[in-house]
């Protein structure tokens, strides 16, 4: 379960105990949607300092299929990752891709692009899938609305509450924690109603969904500031889908414990290296004879062994190793950021750390 260790104003450090070890918070989870973090082995992920990863139950439900993973002995054995695994229910990713779907009161009706047939993905089916995956933390199926419409946000919030109740009834795996997801769009009354209903059900943790999907950042932060006091202080809070370092620090300052995002690895595949002094576009000619590491002083595998010039060369020649090396660095960068944040909170120095990091990250001309 969750232990709240120290508060520095609203910023918190804590520890979530799971069946596969404790996760110190604030924590950043690399995204392993289909049981893999793109281009990396589990050993490489572990070396970055990652304590946990997140996979997508719905994608694994489609392929290779839940029964295959069950026969393998669960997701940990299937992918040979022995840290904690969180599994997202999959509704958000499904509706963001090229799926033909419709939202019904009983679940999500969709057309499987693999076989062209129609299926119904219910809260109960979602829980059943995550039970077979044997993840450490499961998320209930939620209805994530598009940004904008009050009526759509209200309907999705009502579905989310109903589906959460059904998920909790269906959940049977005793060593698996179950987190609910808050919805309600950018409307404070809907967020309040959703929070009250879900908190009353008594989940192990609460994720804040439906943000960072197109709304202005100031509105996202406004809804976040409004929503967090509605949640129990002694339960973990998760802001879903946010991975930009500055946005992560802003959310930590408001009391968020968990983050997941493909931001670091996606940046790496697009030639961008993350450093404390800002982002580097390693596809630029200026790095062709730059024999420094990606970031001076970084202890990651890539920075210990390779130069900017070498990675520039790999990108220029479309070599896959470029994406691997930069992914290793970017994930290491995020884990080091979390480690330094935890230290700053413990020393009651988070505000100063956030200010100095943000100034360096945004103020650089590199």
Is the same domain home to 204 and 295?
no
pLDDT band at 364 (very low <50, low <70, confident <90, very high): low
The per-residue pLDDT for 366 is 55
Q: What six digits make up the tokens of 322? A: 């470029």
Is the same domain home to 234 and 291?
no
Domain boundary among the residues 261, 278, 295 is at 261
The per-residue pLDDT for 91 is 67
Q: What are phi and psi of 265, to 5 degrees?
A: -75, -35
pLDDT above 70 covers what percent of the chain? 97
Measured CA to CA, the distance from residue 238 to residue 251 in angstroms comes to 10
- Is 10 a known active-site residue? no
More confident residue, 118 or 91: 118
Domain boundary among the residues 243, 261, 279 is at 261
* Residue 114 pLDDT > 80: no
- The predicted-structure confidence for 161-206, as pLDDT tens digits, reads as follows 999 999 999 999 999 999 999 999 999 999 999 999 999 999 999 9
Contact 213, 175 (CB under 8 A): no
- How many residues can be counted in the chain? 366
CATH number at residue 228: 3.20.20.105
**DSSP state, residue 31:** B
pLDDT above 90 covers what percent of the chain? 86
**DSSP state, residue 234:** T
- Is 257 a known active-site residue? no
Name the β-bridge partners of 258.
Answer: 27, 238
Mean pLDDT of 202-218: 91
Catalytically annotated residue among 8, 88, 131, 136: 88
**Average pLDDT score, the chain:** 94
Handedness of CA 114, 118, 120, 125 (dihedral sign): negative
> What domain count does the chain have?
2
Is the same domain home to 175 and 67?
yes
Range of the domain at 352: 269-363
pLDDT band at 283 (very low <50, low <70, confident <90, very high): very high
Is the same domain home to 147 and 231?
yes
* Residue 146 pLDDT > 90: no
Measured CA to CA, the distance from residue 337 to residue 357 in angstroms comes to 9
- The predicted-structure confidence for 41-94, as pLDDT tens digits, reads as follows 999 999 999 999 999 999 999 899 999 999 999 999 999 999 999 999 976 665
Is the same domain home to 38 and 144?
yes
Domain boundary among the residues 261, 277, 297 is at 261
- The predicted-structure confidence for 285-304, as pLDDT tens digits, reads as follows 999 999 999 999 999 999 99
pLDDT band at 330 (very low <50, low <70, confident <90, very high): very high
Is the same domain home to 323 and 206?
no
Is the same domain home to 92 and 12?
yes
The per-residue pLDDT for 99 is 65
Catalytically annotated residue among 24, 142, 260, 296: 260
- The predicted-structure confidence for 225-280, as pLDDT tens digits, reads as follows 999 999 999 999 999 999 999 999 999 999 999 999 999 999 999 999 999 999 99
The per-residue pLDDT for 113 is 75
The per-residue pLDDT for 105 is 87
Measured CA to CA, the distance from residue 16 to residue 22 in angstroms comes to 5
Is the same domain home to 207 and 274?
no
Is the same domain home to 328 and 356?
yes
Q: What are phi and psi of 239, to 5 degrees?
A: -100, 110
79-93, 96-110, 189-203, 324-338: which range is least confident on average? 96-110
Of 6, 52, 3, the closest CA to residue 27 belongs to 52
Of 332, 261, 263, the closest CA to residue 293 belongs to 332
Task: Give the DSSP letter string of 202-230.
Answer: --SEEEE-S-SSSS-HHHHHHHHHHHGGG
Mean pLDDT of 328-345: 98
Measured CA to CA, the distance from residue 163 to residue 171 in angstroms comes to 12
Contact 203, 178 (CB under 8 A): yes
Is the same domain home to 230 and 278?
no
* Residue 331 pLDDT > 80: yes
Contact 295, 275 (CB under 8 A): yes
pLDDT band at 97 (very low <50, low <70, confident <90, very high): low
* Residue 365 pLDDT > 70: no
Handedness of CA 191, 237, 60, 129 (dihedral sign): negative
Is the same domain home to 68 and 185?
yes
Contact 277, 296 (CB under 8 A): no
Contact 160, 142 (CB under 8 A): yes
Mean pLDDT of 28-39: 97
Is the same domain home to 94 and 112?
yes
* Residue 96 pLDDT > 70: no
The per-residue pLDDT for 41 is 98
């Amino acid at each position: 379960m969750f232990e709240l260790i120290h508060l520095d104003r609203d910023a918190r450090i804590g520890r979530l105990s799971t069946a596969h070890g404790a996760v110190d918070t604030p924590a950043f989870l690399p995204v392993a949607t289909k049981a893999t973090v793109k281009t990396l082995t589990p050993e490489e992920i572990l070396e970055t300092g990652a304590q946990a990863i997140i996979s997508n139950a719905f994608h694994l439900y489609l392929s290779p299929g839940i029964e295959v993973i069950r026969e393998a002995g669960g997701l940990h054995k299937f992918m040979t990752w022995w840290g904690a695994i969180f599994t997202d229910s999959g509704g958000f990713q499904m509706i963001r891709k090229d799926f033909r779907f419709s939202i019904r009161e009983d679940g999500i009706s969709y057309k499987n692009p693999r076989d062209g047939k129609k299926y119904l993905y219910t809260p109960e089916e979602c829980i059943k899938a995550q039970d077979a995956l044997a993840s450490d933390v499961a998320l209930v199926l939620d209805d994530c609305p598009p940004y904008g419409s009050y009526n759509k946000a209200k309907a999705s919030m009502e579905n989310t509450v109903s589906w959460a109740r059904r998920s909790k009834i269906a959940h049977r795996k005793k060593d698996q924690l179950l987190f609910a997801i808050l919805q309600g769009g950018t409307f404070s009354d809907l967020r309040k109603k959703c929070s009250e209903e879900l908190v009353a059900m008594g989940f192990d943790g609460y994720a804040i969904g439906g943000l960072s999907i197109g709304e202005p950042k100031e509105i996202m932060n406004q809804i976040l500031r409004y929503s967090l006091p509605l949640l129990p202080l002694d339960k973990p809070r998760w802001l879903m889908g946010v991975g930009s370092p500055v946005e992560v620090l802003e959310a930590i300052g408001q009391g968020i414990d968990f983050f997941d995002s493909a931001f670091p690895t996606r940046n790496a595949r697009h030639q961008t290296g993350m450093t404390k002094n800002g982002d580097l576009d390693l596809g630029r000619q200026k790095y062709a004879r730059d024999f420094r590491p990606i970031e001076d002083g970084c202890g990651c595998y890539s920075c210990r062994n390779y130069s900017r010039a070498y990675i520039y060369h790999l990108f220029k020649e479309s070599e896959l190793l470029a994406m691997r090396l930069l992914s290793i660095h970017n994930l290491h960068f995020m884990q080091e950021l979390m480690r330094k944040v935890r230290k700053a909170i413990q020393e009651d120095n988070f505000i100063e750390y956030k200010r100095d990091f943000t100034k360096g990250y945004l103020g650089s001309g590199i």
